[in-house]
Amino acid sequence: MADEVESGTGPRVVVVDDEPSLRWVVKTGLGRAGYAVEEAEDAHRGLALLRRGPAFAVILDINLPGMSGLEAIDEVKRLCPEAAVVVITAQDSMANAIEAMRKGAVDYLTKPFDLEELLLVLEKAGERRALEDEVRSLRRVHNDPRQEMAGAAPVMRDLFKRIGQVAARETTVLIRGESGTGKELVARAIHFHSNRRGGPFVAVNCSAIPAELLESELFGHEQGAFTGAVRRKRGRFERANGGSLFLDEIGDMAPALQTRILRALQEREVEPVGGERTVAVDVRILAATNVDLERAVADGRFREDLYYRLNVVTLTLPPLRERKEDIPLLASHFIARGNAELGTAIDGIGERALARLAAHDWPGNVRELENCIKRAMVLARGTVLGVEEIDAGGLGAAPPSEAVGLAGAVLPHLRQMVEAAADAEGDLYRRVVAEVERPLLRLALEASGNNQLRAARMLGINRNTLRKKLREQ
């Protein structure tokens, strides 16, 4: 169908109107502009779409069968507080307009309205959302100590010193490190301790945006540059003017865009897609990657001249496995943050739980640790996180070193059992499983204080299954 072909992959927009023709026109027009549009013929179906996931905007008719659009605004705001609500109606009523705006709508359009007028409303809503996000980011960095980087290991103290040294100097910085080590936090720290802290900090993940859209996202586009470009759009370079632009995962950028980035760095100007003029920009570039850029240059996947432009100053973040002495500090840091975000009242973490965390290799680094702590807090029954909560938070499997030790101890005994049963039919599998299962169940019960429910949760089985196994022994 034509409306399905025109649906975009950008911000999600839900259109709620009982006129099929109007829904088709709006969906087609917004789809051409890049929005991912879903439609509903009444408020109840529209709200059901919102329950499936958040939306950037909701276009809502007032006169709907059953629940009116005005009645639905409150529920829309409850389900998706950040959604921009645009009210549309064939009745140009001052009372309706006042009530819609009072309830939180961003605009009020009277049918028949011009599609470009609707696109302008959504564009302004997007700019307002970006500004609000930036303000929240500034408040977090300046007013919320929990958002600061945490670390007391010598390697982190050295990193903090280098951040202080490079922050005040107008130079490009390349931030390197494994995924989850906190490269964006370093970029934000550099910006907010620099002379540009009064300007915007704009971040873009070069691997998260499709290559065909990234050029327009970075450099902007002129009206009519391509299908759906109904008006001029400022790119991230322009939005970061006077501040810092953080290019995350730059090692994944397509070669053609690398050329344009290099020119922007050299000439300090950008040319919007479809434009015939250049726009001067005053932007400090902070780039990050977990890609081996030297290898990428050697393989021809990354421009050598851009590599040298970016690699003026390099900051490398250590993986968490190389600074495990910071785990108690980081855990306390994430517990404080989690209490504020989740409304929990966790006081701390036990010594055995900390030992459990220290035994893990953390391939996902600090981000993995944060997620583990947050999940443990959600599942916690008391005020101190113990081994049970940490295991439930994602570390239920034995740490690699522990697993290797267990295998080393058991393997000789298993080999003897296999050799004894060689060339004969029997129940070797059942006997091996039974021999391992009995001590495992006993240890689980001991660790849980003989609480069968907790032991079953630890083992990842149903309590009735555990009871049955205990009876069979």
- Residues 203-217 have pLDDT tens digits of 998 887 777 778 888
Distance CA 310, CA 250 (A): 10
101 pLDDT higher than 70: yes
**pLDDT by residue (tens digit) across 421-472?**
655 566 676 777 766 777 787 777 777 667 777 777 777 777 777 777 777 7
Q: What is the pLDDT of residue 451?
A: 74
In 3D space, the residue among 333, 352, 430, 427 whose CA is nearest the CA of residue 395 turns out to be 352
* E strand spans, 47-135: 57-61, 84-89, 107-110
- For the chain, give the mean pLDDT: 81
Q: What is the pLDDT of residue 284?
A: 93
**pLDDT by residue (tens digit) across 164-195?**
888 888 899 999 999 889 999 999 989 988 88
What is the sign, positive or negative, of the torsion defined by CA atoms of 458, 462, 464, 470? negative
Conformation bin of residue 11: beta by default, left when phi > 0, alpha when psi is -120 to 50: beta
Contacts of 72 (CB under 8 A, 6+ apart): 16, 43, 46, 47, 60, 64
Lowest-confidence region among 64-73, 146-155, 173-182, 411-420: 411-420
**pLDDT by residue (tens digit) across 305-335?**
999 999 899 999 999 999 999 999 999 989 9
Give per-residue burial for 224-249: e unless 16+ CB within 10 Å, then b: ebeebbbeebebbbbbbbebbbbbbb
Which range among 41-50, 123-132, 462-471 has the greatest average pLDDT? 41-50
Distance CA 215, CA 238 (A): 13
110-119: Cβ within 8 A, 24+ apart: 111/22, 113/88, 115/25, 115/26, 115/29, 115/230, 116/230, 116/231, 118/26, 118/29, 118/30, 118/59, 118/86, 119/29, 119/30, 119/33, 119/230, 119/231
Burial class (CB in 10 A: 0-12, 13-18, 19+), 274: middle
7 pLDDT higher than 60: no
Domains in the chain: ranges and CATH: 2-125 (3.40.50.2300), 150-318 (3.40.50.300), 321-395 (1.10.8.60), 406-472 (1.10.10.60)
Q: What is the pLDDT of residue 8?
A: 61
430-436: Cβ within 8 A, 24+ apart: 436/410
**pLDDT by residue (tens digit) across 247-300?**
999 988 888 889 889 998 888 888 888 777 888 889 999 999 988 899 989 988
- For the segment 360-366, the average pLDDT, to the nearest whole number, is 90
What is the sign, positive or negative, of the torsion defined by CA atoms of 407, 409, 413, 416? positive
Contacts of 398 (CB under 8 A, 6+ apart): 406
Q: What is the pLDDT of residue 381?
A: 83
Lowest-confidence region among 77-91, 120-134, 318-332: 120-134
Compare 167 and 6 and report the one with higher pLDDT: 167
Angle, alpha carbons 449-455-459 (nearest 5°) = 145
Contacts of 266 (CB under 8 A, 6+ apart): 309
